[in-house]
Amino acid sequence: MAESISIETGAPKEIKYEQLLPQIKALIEGEQDEVAVLSNVAAALHQTFANLWTGFYLVRGGALKLGPFQGPVACMTIERGKGVCGQSWERGETIIVPDVDRFPGHIACSSDSRSEIVVPIKSNTGDVEALLDIDSAHLNTFDASDRRYLEQLCDHLAKILY
């Protein structure tokens, strides 16, 4: 049976990450099914931070395909190099966008999205296999703290899934 996630409400986000990441690791320990793992990770992040959209895009057949997520409906296919996700995939690096309206080529899956962070998940060969994408309804939501903790999480996901 799955454990529930318990995070101190009202805590600074660094404290929330410090509490959440070990709980996510315990939750997914021993599971190697991509959909099961990514579904619970998306749910845990979304529940903890209450962003607009939290989910994954999976590299499939030369494009990004929508994977497990929490939030409103989303774009189902994104081409390499297109939008924030496509550029993160192409570059193989995390991208933080403080204001999506100022990001050239931003794909507006939701008009409510105002800022975004995308973190690639790479296999041990260095290939991007998936992306963690989080959208906020507020400007300037994501910073170096989010980058650090989400990259740690994505590195762990890469080790168990890819």
pLDDT digits (tens, 9 = 90+) for 116-149: 999 999 999 999 999 999 999 999 999 999 999 9
Q: Over the chain, what is the mean pLDDT? A: 93
Closest CA to 154 of 42, 46, 15: 42
| Angle CA 52–55–61, to nearest 5 | 140
Residue carrying the six token digits 């296919």? 77
Closest CA to 56 of 36, 27, 82: 36
Mean pLDDT, to the nearest integer, of 80-107? 92
pLDDT of residue 109 exceeding 90, the answer is: no
pLDDT of residue 1 exceeding 50, the answer is: no
Name the helix (H) or strand (E) containing 150: helix 144-161
> Which residues, 6+ apart, have CB-to-CB distance to 118 below 8 Å?
84, 85, 88, 94, 95, 131, 132, 133, 134
Residue carrying the six token digits 């903890």? 48
| Angle CA 11–14–15, to nearest 5 | 45
Angle between helices 13-28 and 144-161 (to 10 degrees): 10
Catalogue all structural domains in the chain, each as residue range(s) with its CATH number: 13-161 (3.30.450.40)
Are the beta carbons of 154 and 121 closer than 8 angstroms?
Answer: yes
